Structure 1
Amino acid sequence: METLHAIIIAIVEGLTEYLPVSSTAHMVFTSSYFGIQDQEFVKMFQVSIQFGAILAVIVLYWKKFFDFKRINFYVKLALAIVPALVLGKIFDDMIDDVLGKPIPIAIVLIIGGIVLLFIEEYFKNPTIHREEDITPKKAVTIGFWQCLAMMPGTSRSAASIIGGMQQGLTRETAAEFSFFLAVPTMLAVTTYSVFVKTYKSVGMKGYEMLLQGDNLKLFLIGNVIAFIVALIAIKLFIGLIKKYGFKPWGYYRIFAGIILLVYFTYNS
């Protein structure tokens, strides 16, 4: 992986992590285009630069995350990530296998786009307008919905937002709770990928790969860029979702999925 590759992939991550378009799909397609997706460090890099995107949420919503009097907020987030922690460990190898196959990811991207076109028709009468009104039970249910994103191309953001709307949240509240839930979820995934997981083809853990060559420099560059771009993307998304809803993202997913499906079908 070259520095330019790292910069472009980080920009893609920052732009798409909190949008319902699947950041993983976009990073896989980008890396596949560069011909580097099969490299183990690239796969770890795609996960680990989510740390930068995590910091963007914490900075934008720092009053929420550092209000230690609101213990219920932390309890709900802790409960909501349990399904992802358990199922993520169980299906880790299967997820890795799919990461190297852009065609199935493109198909999932299209299917998810079709869902977004009609999702608001099914949840027309939301009853929860504030995060404070989300019960622990609803938080856990949203956490299970988030697990759908273990299939690359689904979008963690889309899955958790749809789960929130299914539980009666307004689309704005569902989007914000999705942002909050991303922090412990992606922190856990990043920690696992860097410090716990052994990458079989190279026989090293993530932090050992970081110490090879320029990998640490690329890691730092990627996280800084993902942080800056995510700051912009989060503010942009909230404004657009209030004004236009989810249909524009649905059309985008379908269009992008078709283009990528055709490209990788004829270039595989």
Structure 2
Amino acid sequence: MDILEILKAILFGIIQGITEWLPISSTGHMLLADELIHLNVSKAFMDLFIVVIQFGSILAVVTLYFHKLNPFSPKKSPAEKKGTWSLWGKVAVASIPLVIIGLPLDDFITEKLYGPITIAATLIIYGILFIMLENRHKKPTVNSFGELSLKMAFCIGLFQVLATIPGTSRSGATILGAVFLGASRVVSAEFSFFLAIPAMFGASGYKLLKFFLANDTGFSGGEWAVLIVGTVVAYLVSVVAIKFLMSFIQKHDFKPFGWYRIALGVVVLIVFLFVLR
């Protein structure tokens, strides 16, 4: 594996780290990157790579929120530990729809819906929804995780299922759903981060298992290098992206992301319908 492929892996890691946490669709960006950068690997490995480097992004959440997510921390009072267990319970409840509905449809969606038209459409549609939601934004009724009910967590999980459609954006769907249901922007964003932990760990493990079952030889040395470099870079960039988003939404709404999604959707349509025909 030459240095050029490693540089491409770094670029993919940067794109993944930025776009996974901002509600702008990592899939849409990865699709464009794959066409423009194009790693010199098999399609099976590329499909795996795009999912597994998300592992780096998840480690960023675990690192940044380790204390908040750790129910065993000696620095927490009994009440705080109870609150942490309650938070994990809500994450578990919110993950149920994805397991029941999303996983059985994974292969069908990948085969039938993964393409530039679907991705462009979902980018634009959810961009419009973000703008509409912010234009009608009401004072949130849920400003802390203690105020987040199990019912509301489950409903946010239903929005996460929508993210199985390429271009939707997992963070975009869950943040949009949480804000729509009455959560503050901060609670919506952080719950989206935490909800990603089981979802993306599961997706990465599932894709790895499928790859090794279908490929007896596993990875080559060069493929391991590409996967590791992409994952490490995705981790480092994700740390920056998460901090940026949490700082941004303290003073701004999500409308800029909505406009960006619409613009990106148009670019995807132009590139794949006219430039790459």
TM-score, normalising length from structure 1?
A: 0.91
For 2:234, the equivalent position in structure 1 comes to 226
What is the aligned counterpart of 1:11 among 10, 14, 20? 14
Higher mean alpha-carbon deviation, 112-121 vs 7-16, is at 112-121
Going from structure 1 to structure 2, the CA distance change for 1:99 and 1:4 (only over 3 Å counts) comes to: farther
Q: What CA distance in whole angstroms lies between the structure 2 residues aligned with 1:128 and 1:253?
A: 27
For 1:39, the equivalent position in structure 2 comes to 43
Question: Which structure 1 residue ranges, 4+ long, deviate > 6 Å from structure 2?
Answer: none
* 1:242 paired to 2:256: no
Going from structure 1 to structure 2, the CA distance change for 1:60 and 1:99 (only over 3 Å counts) comes to: farther
For 1:133, the equivalent position in structure 2 comes to 147
Q: What CA distance in whole angstroms lies between the structure 1 residues aligned with 2:93 and 2:114?
A: 31
Structure 2 gap segments, 5+ residues each: 73-80
Q: What CA distance in whole angstroms lies between the structure 2 residues aligned with 1:152 and 1:9?
A: 17
For 1:217, the equivalent position in structure 2 comes to 225
For 2:26, the equivalent position in structure 1 comes to 23
| Superposed CA offset, 1:76-119 (max 9, x none) | 11111121122232111223225752232112211111111111
CA contact (8 A) 1:131 1:173 kept: yes
Q: What CA distance in whole angstroms lies between the structure 2 residues aligned with 1:98 and 1:47?
A: 18
CA contact (8 A) 1:28 1:99 kept: no
Q: What CA distance in whole angstroms lies between the structure 1 residues aligned with 2:266 and 2:42?
A: 23
CA contact (8 A) 1:11 1:226 kept: yes
| 1:204 partner amino acid | N
* 1:50 paired to 2:54: yes
User: Greater Rg, structure 1 or structure 2?
Assistant: 2
- Aligned CA RMSD, in angstroms, stands at 2.0
Superposed, which structure 2 residues align to 1:86-105 within 5 Å? 86-97=100-111, 101-105=115-119
SS at match of 1:141: helix
SS at match of 2:143: coil
CA contact (8 A) 1:98 1:152 kept: no
Shift of 1:35: 4.3
| 2:142 partner amino acid | I
| 1:28 partner amino acid | L
State the number of aligned residues.
262
What is the aligned counterpart of 1:119 among 110, 114, 133? 133
Going from structure 1 to structure 2, the CA distance change for 1:129 and 1:238 (only over 3 Å counts) comes to: same
Q: What CA distance in whole angstroms lies between the structure 2 residues aligned with 1:127 and 1:7?
A: 41
Shift of 1:124: 0.7
CA contact (8 A) 1:38 1:100 kept: no
CA contact (8 A) 1:112 1:250 kept: yes
Structure 1 gap segments, 5+ residues each: none
* 1:263 paired to 2:271: yes
Shift of 1:29: 1.5
CA contact (8 A) 2:141 2:184 kept: yes
For 1:186, the equivalent position in structure 2 comes to 200
For 2:76, the equivalent position in structure 1 comes to none
For 1:167, the equivalent position in structure 2 comes to 181
Q: What CA distance in whole angstroms lies between the structure 1 residues aligned with 2:160 and 2:29?
A: 18
